[in-house]
Amino acid sequence: MFNLTSFDDIAEITGGIEITNPCMVERIRRAADGLNRHEIAARLADAITDAADAAHTRRWQEQAYGQASPDAIVDQEYHDDLVLAWTLVAAENQPMNLASLFAHDGSVH
């Protein structure tokens, strides 16, 4: 899985997915064309869950058998790329800047 230290890391990682897997990014962009931002966020959440499941499967196989199967390795890599692609698309379709989340003063009014 990914270990991000700041929101600045997201831009570097998601920018890389356009270089390493442009076909997936275009496919996700086409799929997102008819979705609103809440539906895109739900797809991103699903992708994150699937990536976590794939990572857990790979880690379990590594612990149980000493190495993960090729299918588990490819599965994890695919789901990690899917998360990056959906993150990129979500960022492109999100009217709010992620940095503005920290600008909130804590009031509830």
What is the rounded distance in angstroms from the CA atom of residue 67 to the CA atom of residue 37?
Answer: 39
Query: Considering the entire predicted model, what is its pTM?
Result: 0.72
**What pLDDT does residue 37 have?**
87
Q: Which residue has the tokens 């990536």?
A: 51
Q: Which amino acid appears at position 86 of this protein?
A: W
Out of 12-16, 73-77, 105-109, give the one with best mean pLDDT. Answer: 73-77
Q: What is the pLDDT of residues 77-101, one digit of tens each?
A: 999 999 999 999 998 887 655 555 5
Cα–Cα distance measured from residue 85 to residue 58, given in angstroms and rounded to the nearest whole number: 21
Tell me the pLDDT tens digit for each residue of 21-68: 899 999 999 999 999 989 999 999 999 999 999 999 999 999 999 999
Q: Is the pLDDT of residue 74 over 70?
A: yes
**What is the residue extent of each domain of the chain?**
19-94
pLDDT value at 106 more than 80: no
Q: Which residues contact 13 (CB under 8 A, 6 or more apart)?
A: 2, 4, 84, 87
**Residue pair 40/86 in contact by the 8 Å Cβ criterion:** yes
The CB density around residue 77, as the number of other CB atoms within 10 Å, is 14
